[in-house]
Structure 1
């Protein structure tokens, strides 16, 4: 039980709880300021849990599973909610979901052949971090007017497009790892 209730894992559990909270604040109560705060905290805590796990010597298999799960849920929930409300265009959502679909197929094939998921690549972590940073900035742009809107809109889209590019670059790196594993298995 000591390896479950670590500080980094508790942060990851809190991040997971933040997903439905964000959806409620954004879609139901339309409390956009609080939704921005939840997204910002969820995005920055992504880095904090991993840092603390390494710093405190509390790296665990559960933490290795919770962290990417929280990332994926934040991204998926934010994408769908933002697309429904018109914060993001459909093409952006489709571009991110297509990458996830491709990697899901490779993961299923790897599992069926007795392999685990490929190791997380720093390019993917960087892309995820940038996307999780871009989302609250885009929401801020959507919910404001004037100079704050203009600055948030420009910086939010710069971050979102940069994050999308890194997300796809990481996807190609994962596909290379997948191809290598499958080639070695068939050799």
Structure 2
């Protein structure tokens, strides 16, 4: 059995927190779209973000880092991000461009990550530029949800910042993986 599926690698607190983040996704949609309870939606997003920080801390502090966690954590993160971006496309037209870029970026990242596993037998953790991208994205999404009467111009500037940071992150990840594949 591959090491990713060993019991001690699956049943960890960080992995459980990632699963909880996945379970919060339908609640975010229901609160934002169904109930239009924007403050509650942000609260759930913040709880989700807190579990992301906590699971990373626990994984490193208590030596619970697992290859499954290195996959599950970003999947939970990316699905949460995609969900919130999709919710915001209802109100903000420029979010459509952001979701397209987001999907393209994540497909490229998934392919490069899969290639790294196949060619180098490694699962890479997030880099600082990926974390910056996540922070900027969450800050902008939180602002757009908490301030629904924000002007279209300000909203578009915030979304534009997200697009720029996401493009920078994608570029730096591509460079990282190309360098990784060049090394023996």
Please indicate the TM-score interval, normalised by the length of the shorter structure. 0.7 to 0.9
TM-score (norm 2): 0.76
**Equivalent position of 2:177 in the other structure:** 178
Q: How is 1:25-104 mapped onto 2 (pairs within 5 angstroms)? A: 25-83=31-89, 85-87=90-92, 89=94, 90-104=96-110
Stretches of structure 1 lacking an aligned partner (at least 5 in a row)? none
1:168 aligns with 2:167: yes
d(CA) in 1 for partners of 2:85, 2:131: 18
Q: Which range moved further: 110-119 or 74-83?
A: 110-119
**Equivalent position of 1:20 in the other structure:** 26
Change (3 A) 1:180 1:162: same
TM-score (norm 1): 0.75
C-alpha contact 1:87 1:139 (8 A) present in aligned 2: no
**Equivalent position of 2:130 in the other structure:** 124
Q: Structure 1 runs of 4+ off > 6 angstroms? A: none
d(CA) in 2 for partners of 1:156, 1:17: 30
The Cα shift of 1:139 comes to 0.5
Stretches of structure 2 lacking an aligned partner (at least 5 in a row)? 1-6
Change (3 A) 1:112 1:58: closer
CA RMSD of aligned residues (A): 3.0
Q: Give per-residue Cα distances to partners, 1:35-76, cap 9 Å, x unaligned.
A: 121112212332221012112222222221111011110111
